[in-house]
Amino acid sequence: MSKRDLKKYLTELSKEQLEEQLIELYEKFSPVKVYYDFVFNPKEDKLLQESKVKISHEYFPVKKPNTKRRPKAKMRRSVAQKIIKHFIMLGVDPFIIADLMFYNIEIAQTYSSNNLIKQELFYKSIFSSFEQAVNFVISNGILTEFKARIKGIHQEILQQKWKNKYDFEAILDKIDF
């Protein structure tokens, strides 16, 4: 069904029929429920904090009670990407989304500063996240608000002597840092 056909169909329904369909969608489909729950009670700060905790646990997992060893860090970029995509879908404020994007990179850098990472994919993945975050702040017109964090990330890359530091510098050159 095209969008035009849907509009035509919806205009033919009475207000009561529309309400019925929306309630049915709300009850049947979890994404619809999540969307309306967010629309009517955003709590963006709480959502942001919960998301930051999830991302940090990817690098610094919490030791479970009654266990001897601390779990190994999984370092999955996909966890953060899924959260960011969810935030975009919900229409969360771009400042909050950008904050989360840069937090993901910063927590990965914190982990790599204390742990030797041999997987080349880790560095490529963080570069990809950095590129997406910079493009996101540019496209939303909020680059100036995040310049300090971008510079901080770049300084940390130089300090840790990442092999792909030139890739990061190429992005900075494009935005005239």
User: Alpha-carbon distance 149 to 140, whole Å?
Assistant: 16
173: Cα separation from own chain's centroid: 24
62-90 pLDDT, tens digit per residue, is: 877 777 777 888 989 899 999 999 999 88
32: Cα separation from own chain's centroid: 20
For residue 133, give the nearest of 116, 111, 152 by alpha carbon.
152
Report yes or no on whether pTM surpasses 0.75. Answer: yes
User: Alpha-carbon distance 16 to 28, whole Å?
Assistant: 18
The pLDDT, as a whole number, for residue 66 is: 76
The residues spanned by each domain of the chain are 1-41, 44-174
152-168 pLDDT, tens digit per residue, is: 999 999 999 999 999 99
User: Alpha-carbon distance 73 to 115, whole Å?
Assistant: 10
User: Has residue 177 got a pLDDT over 80?
Assistant: no
First-to-last CA distance in the chain?
A: 47
User: Alpha-carbon distance 38 to 146, whole Å?
Assistant: 26
User: Has residue 40 got a pLDDT over 90?
Assistant: no
10-39 pLDDT, tens digit per residue, is: 899 899 999 999 899 889 998 888 888 888
Query: What is the DSSP code (8-state) at residue 65?
Result: T
Contact present, 61 and 71 (Cβ < 8 Å): yes
User: Alpha-carbon distance 119 to 125, whole Å?
Assistant: 10
Percent of the chain with pLDDT strictly greater than 90: 65
